[in-house]
Amino acid sequence: MDDKTLAQKIVAGVGGKENILSLEHCATRLRFKLKQRVKADAEVLKQTDGIMMVVESGGQFQVVIGNNVSDIYKVVQQEIGLDNETSISNESAANGSTDVVEKDNIFNRFIDIVSGIFTPILGVMAASGILKGLLSLCIACGWLSQDSGTYKLWFAASDALFYFFPIVLGYTAGKKFGGNPFITMAIGGALIHPLVIEAFQQSTLLDAARTDFLGIPITFINYSASVIPIIFAAWVSCLLEKKLQSILHSSIKNLITPLICLMITVPLTFLVIGPIATWVSQMLAEGFLAIYNFAPILAGAFMGAVWQVAVIFGLHWGIIPVSINNLAVLGQDALVPLLLPAVMGQVGATLGVLLATKETKMRLLSGSAVTAGIFGITEPAVYGVTLPLRRPFIFGCIGGSIGGAIVGYSLTLVYSFGLVNVFTFTQIIPETGIDFSVWGAIIGTFIAFAFSTILTYFFGLPKVPVSQSAEVTTSELHIDCQTPDNNTVLSPMSGVAISLNDVPDETFASGLLGQGAAIVPAIGEVRAPFDCEVSSLFKTKHAIGLLGTQGIEVLIHVGIDTVKLNGEYFTAHVKEGDEVKAGDLLVTFDRNSIIEAGYDLTTPIIITNSDEYPDLHIIPQTHSIHAGQPLLSVAKQHTEQ
């Protein structure tokens, strides 16, 4: 599917352009803020080729794309009529939109604000942190001297973003709060202006003269690399700006509004906002440090276990600012090293799948996911490989917990911010050189990686008894169709019956589409499981819907992702509206060709109206099953004797 078609499907899936309040993207996700969630169709998007997963968290409707998210983001912008980063919410307000916007709770609003402020600069933050780490490695190994011109230029490149953080965050915070980002960027610039830095340095001298603003004494603080003060200052400035825009005449507001915002907000920041926000920053950093020092092993085990779960739901944005604040206030952070085993645990689990699976498609998917995971992008691994298979994801979390405990015991620190990836090892090297804390991080991460790889390789994949299905030869594949009663669904194909929980597709395995069972077919035939009407037949012929005379609705979906074959290798022997008897041939397919094309033929048989049949049981006591034998027993309610 080309980018334009995918973008159109995404816009339609979120309820259309008119339902979009704002759009952002991070390393792998499109992050929508919607007016009305009910207009979005997450299930349709989940089944769209090119979309890994849809997550609703932090007040955002998140569409997980993968590493090419920036390309899709640009095309989606074009589809909704934006060629820049203008907020759609502002545009709607200008047009007098009266659509009702669903309210978020405080936590969701916090997550949305934090992600909106830091997402645009996440890439350059990671690059700056990696460059700092590589310079530390060069110094530790004696490859560079701090007095050399090479070191100074590269250090300037790595440190510039963090030194001028108030200016950069002033811009992104201004955009997020709906104000003029250049006003808030100017406020950030005032915080680190040379005159202010000089006044701060002089204020540290005992004989320094007092400085005041209109008679009010000023407490100068070094705001370079600070985070929280400029965010609060930007929020205040944007509130003031919106108020002024509503009361000033249009002929003067474009000039007077920025003037008043600067004249009021900058002094207010130095006198009130800055000192209070700085105190909050210090309390946050010291509070985290106190908790960490109380039980570093427990902290490591906990973060190693839950970090990837937090990433799935987008909740990690509530944790990332803690790390950034620690670096700004303390110059070091103990949180990021604890996350290394969590990331590499999922990479190891994905490698275990790569080594264990025989399916061509899964090998390609897991291979690319391992590469992306090494560099800190775990969404392809989690959404595409470990989470659908369940056990690999659990093994990755357990490995992360074990490794995190070891890293916590080692009291490892990181000295620059960046995505948690293989380069993080260079960012944990202190100025004194490689020590026990560095080796502790390496050992803990390796154990997490090895543990999850080994357990996934031996126990991570569903144990489908292939030997049994291979023993069912063509001569044995007779149609032993029994007369069904009103509570029985016969097997539509011959092969190996497995639990729906073991289907390697989250949508089916989770029961979102209904309860049922699955079969790994040994022959390419689908037969009617009862007397029924063909209620739907997909144009790709890979799936068929049936309505039984007793009211049971069944979906038979041949294979996983076989919709991508566009009907190739499938032949339908019925059409919509046909009435068939139990055992009648419905669809045939070329089993070997589909397998060679890299597709999993596990076939879910779903009772789509299973909410009407709470009493549902799988009948087979053994894995092997023939078409026409009882597969499911369903009942609308238990019959009391």
Residue type (1 letter), 369: A
Domain limits, CATH 2.70.70.10, in the chain: 488-635
pLDDT at 396 over 90: yes
pLDDT at 56 over 90: no
Q: What is the pLDDT of residue 599?
A: 87
Domain limits, CATH 3.30.1360.60, in the chain: 3-82
pLDDT winner (highest mean) among 66-70, 357-361, 631-635: 631-635
Q: Are 8 and 76 in contact (CB under 8 A)?
A: no
In this prediction, residue 310 has a pLDDT band, given cuts at 50, 70 and 90, of confident
Mean pLDDT of 287-304: 89
% pLDDT > 70, the chain: 88
pLDDT digits (tens, 9 = 90+) for 323-349: 888 888 888 889 999 999 999 999 999
- Range of weakest confidence among 40-44, 237-241, 535-539, 558-562: 40-44
Burial of 284 (0-12, 13-18, 19+ CB in 10 A): middle
pLDDT digits (tens, 9 = 90+) for 96-131: 344 444 555 676 677 778 778 887 887 788 788 888
Superfamily of domain 3-82: Glucose permease domain IIB (3.30.1360.60)
Q: What is the pLDDT of residue 87?
A: 45
pLDDT at 481 over 80: no
- Range of weakest confidence among 175-189, 416-430, 544-558, 605-619: 605-619
Measured at the CA of 519, the angle between CA 515 and CA 520, to 5 degrees, comes to: 145
Q: What is the pLDDT of residue 620?
A: 59
Of 447, 385, 376, nearest in space to 410 by CA: 447
Q: What is the pLDDT of residue 27?
A: 66
pLDDT digits (tens, 9 = 90+) for 207-223: 555 677 887 887 777 78
* Cβ neighbours around 208 below 10 Å, total: 12
Residue type (1 letter), 4: K
Q: What is the pLDDT of residue 162?
A: 84
pLDDT digits (tens, 9 = 90+) for 136-178: 888 888 888 888 999 899 999 988 988 898 999 999 999 989 8
3-state secondary structure 423-450: CHHHHCCCCCCCCHHHHHHHHHHHHHHH
- Range of weakest confidence among 225-239, 422-436, 551-565: 422-436
Q: What is the pLDDT of residue 85?
A: 46
Mean pLDDT of 35-54: 82
- Range of weakest confidence among 43-52, 312-321, 525-534, 614-623: 614-623
Q: What is the pLDDT of residue 348?
A: 95
Q: Choose the catalytic residue: 26, 238, 397, 481.
A: 26
pLDDT at 479 over 80: no
pLDDT digits (tens, 9 = 90+) for 577-618: 999 999 899 999 998 888 878 888 999 999 988 888 877 777
| Mean pLDDT, the chain, whole residue set | 83
Q: What is the pLDDT of residue 246?
A: 87
In this prediction, residue 67 has a pLDDT band, given cuts at 50, 70 and 90, of low
Instruction: Quote the DSSP letter at residue 221.
Output: -
In this prediction, residue 91 has a pLDDT band, given cuts at 50, 70 and 90, of very low
pLDDT digits (tens, 9 = 90+) for 258-279: 999 999 999 999 999 888 888 8
pLDDT at 94 over 50: no
CA distances from residue 414 to 278, 301, 305, 339, 439 in whole angstroms, order as listed: 22, 18, 20, 11, 13
Q: What is the pLDDT of residue 637?
A: 58
Q: What are 545's strand-pairing partners?
A: 536, 555
Q: What is the pLDDT of residue 58?
A: 63
Q: What is the pLDDT of residue 477?
A: 40
Which one has a higher pLDDT value, 485 or 458?
458
Q: Kind and range of the H or E element at 183?
A: helix 181-191
- Range of weakest confidence among 23-37, 172-186, 460-474: 460-474
Q: Are 489 and 638 in contact (CB under 8 A)?
A: no
% pLDDT > 90, the chain: 30
Q: Kind and range of the H or E element at 495?
A: strand 495-499
- Range of weakest confidence among 279-283, 413-417, 463-467, 609-613: 463-467
Q: What is the pLDDT of residue 464?
A: 47
pLDDT at 389 over 50: yes
Residue 26 annotated as catalytic: yes
Q: What is the pLDDT of residue 225?
A: 76
Instruction: Quote the DSSP letter at residue 143.
Output: S
Q: Which two tokens stand for residue 349?
A: 């689990």
Which residues of 523-609 form beta strands (DSSP E)?
525-527, 532-537, 543-548, 553-557, 570-572, 579-580, 585-589, 603-607
Q: What is the pLDDT of residue 452?
A: 96
Q: What is the pLDDT of residue 639?
A: 45
Which residues of 86-238 form beta strands (DSSP E)?
212-213, 216-217
- Range of weakest confidence among 96-100, 357-361, 443-447, 496-500: 96-100
For every residue of 263-307, DSSP letters joined together read HHHHHHIIIIIHHHHHHHHHHHHHHHHHHHHH-HHHHHHHHHHHH
Q: What would be the CATH architecture of the domain defined by 488-635?
A: Distorted Sandwich (2.70)
Q: What is the pLDDT of residue 330?
A: 84
In this prediction, residue 426 has a pLDDT band, given cuts at 50, 70 and 90, of confident
